[in-house]
Structure 1
Amino acid sequence: MTNLVEIRNLHVEATTDSGRRIEIINGIDLDIAKGEIVALIGESGSGKTTIALTLMGYARPGCKITEGSVMVDGKDMTALSEGQRQRIRGTEIAYVPQSAAAAFNPSAKIMDQVIEVTRIHGLMPPAKARLRAIELFRALSLPDPEHIGDRYPHQVSGGQLQRLAAAMALIGDPKVMIFDEPTTALDVTTQIEVLKAFKSVMKAGGIAGVYVSHDLAVVAQIADRIVVLKGGEVQETGTTEDILSTPKHAYTQELLAAFEPRHFEFSGRTEASATPLLHINDVSSGYGQIQADGLPLVCAVRSVGFDLQKGRNLGIIGESGCGKSTLARTIAGMLPASAGQVLFAGEKMPPAAKSRSREQLRQMQIVFQSADTALNPAKPIEDIIGRPLTFYHGMKGEARSKRVDEILDMVRLPKSLRYRHPAELSGGQKQRVNFAHALAAEPKLIICDEITSALDTIVAAAIIELLKELQRELDLSYIFISHDLSVVKAICDEIVVMYRGEKVEQLTREGIKAPEHPYSKLLFSSVPKLDPAWLDNLVLEPDLIRQYGGL
């Protein structure tokens, strides 16, 4: 089989702020045949995206291709002039980013943006380009293909926008497509339809592809071969089936082991109690002016109720926009409930956090999805952890400093990190500092809002293990909000399923195997498996997709 892409001895260097040069890609070789999809997997910083971008002859700011060749259809992208590369980008090679929202201009209509590459490169007349775009919209299973191009980006869903980004890339009839984590931000039900659309269009057009991802289950559905990367070097390469069934390298085995976190049974000091630790009674909340019925203009959570016993964990799952995070903020008092009650250890909590006592605030902490925005970039780690020690416990000086060291040890971080700032830490380290900040209050309940969604598989698995250890040691309870069912199953005793602001079902961990509500059935059946044939064999009930797919 003739190779469309041949990378040989590729080296890429990065220059640090201090002027020091670091080799981030070290002698990579890679072949891709016509019509073949090759996945690049590995942790953050392994070089996945850097390698993919070299196919366009591009290196990100601060980076430089220093050695090697990148042959695409007989042309060495490293040897061409920038003008020559620009003529190839969008025609022979195209790119689909992780965030389609960032790729679209919010003030221009979708159709004008999708066909723009045909105007820039003079590929075809505008009328023909529009007809070609409509063909792609239809091939990518987009609704109302004749008119969706007349909308603006904010008028379509995330899954639709991701497929429209693919249409934008495909309209120039490229020979090679680069997919850079294109389904990471999507719900599982949306992700399935997007993957199916990508796969069918690529195979029909005989287009070669590079698929960058850290999600092995997604990769299993779309890739013919897998290249495992770590530290800018290839650890292992093979067919998708071989890599998933008989991985040879220890790092590949670690990636596979981390895909499905081990189930956890709590064995702490907790005793059953008639009074739950947390009682949510008929809570509604949302945004905008309160209406005549006492509810906000946009009611994101409607009449939700559940109990959480001390020492147990509750998962809340559902698609984006279902009200998961709004409910978390309502429980924490950041968004006051407009109706219903929040009781903690039998005590009624004021709806707004500003009205709660310092002791009430201390006992219930929340850890957010993005540690980058949760941590003050101007403060060293010792100040970030030390602030709640002073606020809740009045600690100062040597006592506070000693306790900071103890908490860093709790979250398995070296004491030397106390002098660093958040920007100097990895994603996993920052999330551990996030937990350390919450633990400093010595709470009874920690609300975890999508805390692993931005982390690599191995790092996310380590965070889950840390949560389990802390629960055993400190007798904690967790509310775990996520769209990753494997994570929720690993740590939660019960799971609340939400859809459009309402609780549609509450299940035990064992009950996941036989959900009763139609949306729960669709949600659980849409979670990809480590089986290359899973997507091709998947049959979802059309009525469920029409009613609950939200695409």
Structure 2
Amino acid sequence: MTDTPLVSVRDLHIGAVTDSGRNVEIIRGVDFDIAPGEMLALIGESGSGKTTIALSLMGHTRRGCDIKGGTIRVGQHDITGMSERKRARLRGSDVSYVPQSAAAAFNPSKRIMDQVVEAARIHDMMPLEKARERARSLFRALALPDPDTIGDRYPHQVSGGQLQRLSAAMALIGDPELVIFDEPTTALDVTTQIEVLRAFKRVMKDGGMAGVYVSHDLAVVAQIADRIVVLKNGEIQEQGTTEQILKAPKHPYTKELLAAFDPVPHEPVAQVEPEKETPILEVRNLCAGYGPMKDGEPLAKVMRDVNFELYRGRNLGVIGESGSGKSTLARAVAGILPAYRGEVLLDGKVLDPSLGKRSKQELRRAQIVFQLADTALNPAHSVGAIIARPLKFYKGLRGEACEKRVIELLNMVHLPPALRHRLPSELSGGQKQRVNLARALAAEPELILCDEITSALDTVVAAAILDLLKELQQELGLSYMFISHDLSTVEAICDDVLVMYKGEVVEALPAARMSDEATHAYSRLLVSSVPQLDTGWLAGLEQDPELLAAFSDR
């Protein structure tokens, strides 16, 4: 590293205009440098300004936002003083971007190779065949399967983890000086996340490139960043080396982030004697799949012969990587995806496989909360109308009685009553998920199926949602079935855990003892794949031949 920083940001101010025409300052006086070859992490909860700052390094601001003051220099380029035309030339050549959602970055109708080399073609960096050779070498460096032919596929023909690495290849094709990674592993399961992080780290190091890594996950940042900038409400709270921030944080907010990473272990609300009680939920030999039916079975059989019992006041976690069948299980239990074989029993009574054939009372007693509140909440309806709908359907409430209950439910999930007049687009991610919960609670259920409900939330907000779930369980006597790919989340909320792999349950054991007592090879791989707040953790993983063999055998 040289003494001259590659990136220099001084007194950066970014403002925005709200829908009502009010001017607000969202980034306030931010200063930092990035040395050549250094990886700087910007961390903080949702709304802290980390993505806004990262995008500004390319001279880009979101709609309604403007750089109001300060300077940004990248290499020899004065970003803040440049014309938009010159900034556009910089993007994809000197500075490139890896998005959170790789799926949104690819055109589904074009082959992967044509999209990866597009930046090289637009900026006239190299001949087309040379760009394709460069792409194939990046595919190899990023440990992608079939590097010579994967570019011939379409985006839907590769997995999420592979698509994320391909989006990195797209960003790296022109040998940029600076690469911006915007939460690129947030939506990935733990085992896939490790593969992607290892690939990113290796390619950046080999190319001597500098990077900005935007994340709310301190454990991920610990593996990839040299230095950390901690942000809250558009201001820097603290910055330092990764080791110093993790081992000796100075600011109270940094300490809060670290505390949220390690949630309080779950304490069972109810201890039951199984032989004396009927399970609230029982699943027997359940099989489900997708596609046209032939001889009573679907074309794609995704989940096979799942069995478990869940007792009142207890919580069951279902974990596994993407494609393991865990969300299919939740959908089959809820009746959204009718099982083609097996039974679901609610309080000892067999439910019809199809949601449409279940009674109103059966629907009321078992509710499901989905992963993405953005798609689960009707964007055209106010929060009050969204929560009121199940009150009208299940309870027949109208008028003043309905509004009074909406306010009670908002209070129950710790949201102000005034929020009932807002649209979902006017809420934060954590607020939307609380509305999602309030809607489920409106039915006064006994069982809630939680499908990855914290995976899209930052660490602090996710910890608050888990605390809320525990509080509601104590107040209302609820039981939860909790679908997740995050082992620490399951340990924080669940009593028991099922490990799913390729559509089957491979292990069942108490959640509190999973880390120590897991015996199945895949369960042990999941346990080993949870990133630790230790800067040497990923390097240590790469020196474990048994674990690397387990990754390659998946």
User: TM-score band, normalised by the shorter chain?
Assistant: over 0.9
CA RMSD of aligned residues (A): 1.5
Say which SS state the counterpart of residue 252 (structure 1) adopts: helix
Matches within 5 A, 1:404-483: 404-483=406-485
2-structure distance, mates of 1:246, 1:215: 17
Q: Which residue of structure 1 lines up, in the alignment, with residue 509 of structure 2?
A: 507
Matches within 5 A, 1:257-272: 257-268=259-270
Instruction: Tell me, yes or no, if the aligned pair for 2:270 and 2:314 is still in contact at 8 Å.
Output: no
Cα distance change, pair 271–444 in 1 and its aligned pair in 2 (3 A): farther
Deviations 1:206-246 (A, max 9, x none): 11100001111110100000000011110110111111111
Q: Which residue of structure 1 lines up, in the alignment, with residue 255 of structure 2?
A: 253
1-structure distance, mates of 2:24, 2:508: 51
Task: Report the AA paired with residue 49 of structure 1.
Answer: T
Instruction: Tell me, yes or no, if the aligned pair for 2:269 and 2:314 is still in contact at 8 Å.
Output: no
Please identify, of 411-420 and 169-178, the stretch whose mean Cα deviation from structure 2 is larger. Answer: 411-420
Matches within 5 A, 1:83-232: 83-232=85-234
Q: Which residue of structure 2 lines up, in the alignment, with residue 546 of structure 1?
A: 552
2-structure distance, mates of 1:117, 1:84: 15
Q: Which residue of structure 1 lines up, in the alignment, with residue 523 of structure 2?
A: 520
Matches within 5 A, 1:211-360: 211-268=213-270, 273-292=276-295, 294-360=296-362
1-structure distance, mates of 2:163, 2:291: 27
Task: Report the AA paired with residue 533 of structure 1.
Answer: G
Say which SS state the counterpart of residue 144 (structure 1) adopts: coil
Task: Report the AA paired with residue 290 of structure 1.
Answer: M
Deviation (angstroms), 1:7: 0.5
Say which SS state the counterpart of residue 110 (structure 2) adopts: coil
1-structure distance, mates of 2:36, 2:420: 51
1-structure distance, mates of 2:492, 2:364: 27
Cα distance change, pair 312–7 in 1 and its aligned pair in 2 (3 A): same
1-structure distance, mates of 2:105, 2:441: 39
Deviations 1:339-366 (A, max 9, x none): 0001111111111122111111111111
Unmatched segments (≥5 aa) in structure 2: none
Identity %: 64
Over 6 Å off, 4+ runs? none
Match of 1:46 among 48, 61, 79: 48
Task: Report the AA paired with residue 514 of structure 1.
Answer: E
Aligned residue-pair number: 547
Say which SS state the counterpart of residue 307 (structure 1) adopts: strand
Deviation (angstroms), 1:137: 1.4
Instruction: Tell me, yes or no, if the aligned pair for 2:270 and 2:312 is still in contact at 8 Å.
Output: no
Task: Report the AA paired with residue 286 of structure 2.
Answer: V
Unmatched segments (≥5 aa) in structure 1: none
Say which SS state the counterpart of residue 6 (structure 2) adopts: strand
Instruction: Tell me, yes or no, if the aligned pair for 1:269 and 1:475 is still in contact at 8 Å.
Output: no
Say which SS state the counterpart of residue 3 (structure 1) adopts: coil
Task: Report the AA paired with residue 130 of structure 1.
Answer: R
Instruction: Tell me, yes or no, if the aligned pair for 2:382 and 2:420 is still in contact at 8 Å.
Output: yes
Task: Report the AA paired with residue 219 of structure 1.
Answer: V
Task: Report the AA paired with residue 466 of structure 1.
Answer: L
1-structure distance, mates of 2:51, 2:385: 34
Say which SS state the counterpart of residue 401 (structure 2) adopts: helix
Cα distance change, pair 52–158 in 1 and its aligned pair in 2 (3 A): same
Instruction: Tell me, yes or no, if the aligned pair for 2:366 and 2:447 is still in contact at 8 Å.
Output: yes
Task: Report the AA paired with residue 278 of structure 2.
Answer: T
Q: Which residue of structure 1 lines up, in the alignment, with residue 402 of structure 2?
A: 400
TM-score, normalised via structure 1 length: 0.96
Say which SS state the counterpart of residue 81 (structure 2) adopts: coil
Task: Report the AA paired with residue 409 of structure 1.
Answer: N
Deviation (angstroms), 1:266: 2.5
2-structure distance, mates of 1:424, 1:176: 33
Deviations 1:161-213 (A, max 9, x none): 11111111111111111001111111111111111111111112111100001
Task: Report the AA paired with residue 513 of structure 1.
Answer: D
Deviation (angstroms), 1:122: 1.9
Task: Report the AA paired with residue 551 of structure 2.
Answer: I
Task: Report the AA paired with residue 93 of structure 1.
Answer: V
Deviations 1:85-126 (A, max 9, x none): 222222211111111121122222222222222222222222
Say which SS state the counterpart of residue 78 (structure 1) adopts: helix
Please identify, of 261-270 and 182-191, the stretch whose mean Cα deviation from structure 2 is larger. Answer: 261-270
Instruction: Tell me, yes or no, if the aligned pair for 1:266 and 1:472 is still in contact at 8 Å.
Output: no
Deviations 1:485-527 (A, max 9, x none): 1111101011111112111111212133221111111111111
Instruction: Tell me, yes or no, if the aligned pair for 1:270 and 1:475 is still in contact at 8 Å.
Output: no
1-structure distance, mates of 2:273, 2:507: 26
Task: Report the AA paired with residue 449 of structure 1.
Answer: D
Task: Report the AA paired with residue 329 of structure 1.
Answer: R
Deviation (angstroms), 1:271: 6.5
Deviation (angstroms), 1:270: 6.3
2-structure distance, mates of 1:131, 1:336: 47
Deviation (angstroms), 1:269: 8.5
Say which SS state the counterpart of residue 541 (structure 1) adopts: helix
Deviation (angstroms), 1:420: 2.3
2-structure distance, mates of 1:289, 1:361: 26
Say which SS state the counterpart of residue 136 (structure 1) adopts: helix
Task: Report the AA paired with residue 541 of structure 1.
Answer: L
1-structure distance, mates of 2:487, 2:532: 12
Cα distance change, pair 256–542 in 1 and its aligned pair in 2 (3 A): closer
Q: Which residue of structure 2 lines up, in the alignment, with residue 55 of structure 1?
A: 57
2-structure distance, mates of 1:269, 1:113: 56
1-structure distance, mates of 2:294, 2:526: 33
Task: Report the AA paired with residue 497 of structure 1.
Answer: V
TM-score, normalised via structure 2 length: 0.96
Say which SS state the counterpart of residue 235 (structure 1) adopts: strand
Task: Report the AA paired with residue 479 of structure 1.
Answer: M
Cα distance change, pair 15–74 in 1 and its aligned pair in 2 (3 A): same
